[in-house]
Amino acid sequence: MIKKIYLTRHGQTDFNKQGIVQGRGVDSDLNEMGRAQAQAFYDAYKNVPFSKLYTSSLKRTAQSMHGFVQKGLAFEALPELDEISWGIHEGAEVNEEQHAYYFDMISSWQKGETHKAIEGGESPEGLAKRLRAGLAYIMSKENEPNVLICMHGRAMRLMLAIMFNYPLSGMDYFLHNNLGLYEITFTGSTFVLDRYNETSHLKHL
pLDDT score of 17: 86
Q: Are strands 52-55 and 146-151 parallel, antiparallel or unpaired?
A: parallel
pLDDT score of 188: 94
Strand order in the sheet with 52-55: 75-77, 52-55, 146-151, 3-9, 181-186, 191-198
- For residue 19, is pLDDT > 80? no
First to last CA, the chain: 37
| Confidence category of residue 8, pLDDT binned at 50, 70, 90 | very high
The pLDDT tens digits of the residues spanning 129-154 come to 999 999 999 999 999 999 999 999 99
Per DSSP, the three-state class of 54 is strand
- Backbone φ, ψ for residue 147 (5° rounding): -115, 135
Contact 176, 194 (CB under 8 A): no
The pLDDT tens digits of the residues spanning 187-202 come to 999 999 999 999 999 9
pLDDT score of 101: 85
Compute the mean pLDDT over every residue in the chain, rounded to the nearest whole number: 95
Q: Say what the pTM is.
A: 0.95
Contact 85, 24 (CB under 8 A): yes
Q: Considering only CA atoms, which of 38, 22, 71 is closest in space to residue 181?
A: 38
As a whole number of angstroms, the distance between CA 182 and CA 137 comes to 19
Instruction: Work out the average pLDDT over 11-32.
Output: 89
- For residue 93, is pLDDT > 80? no
Lowest mean pLDDT among 10-24, 53-67, 93-107, 188-202: 93-107
As a whole number of angstroms, the distance between CA 28 and CA 39 comes to 18
Q: What percent of the chain has pLDDT over 90?
A: 84
pLDDT score of 98: 76
As a whole number of angstroms, the distance between CA 150 and CA 108 comes to 27
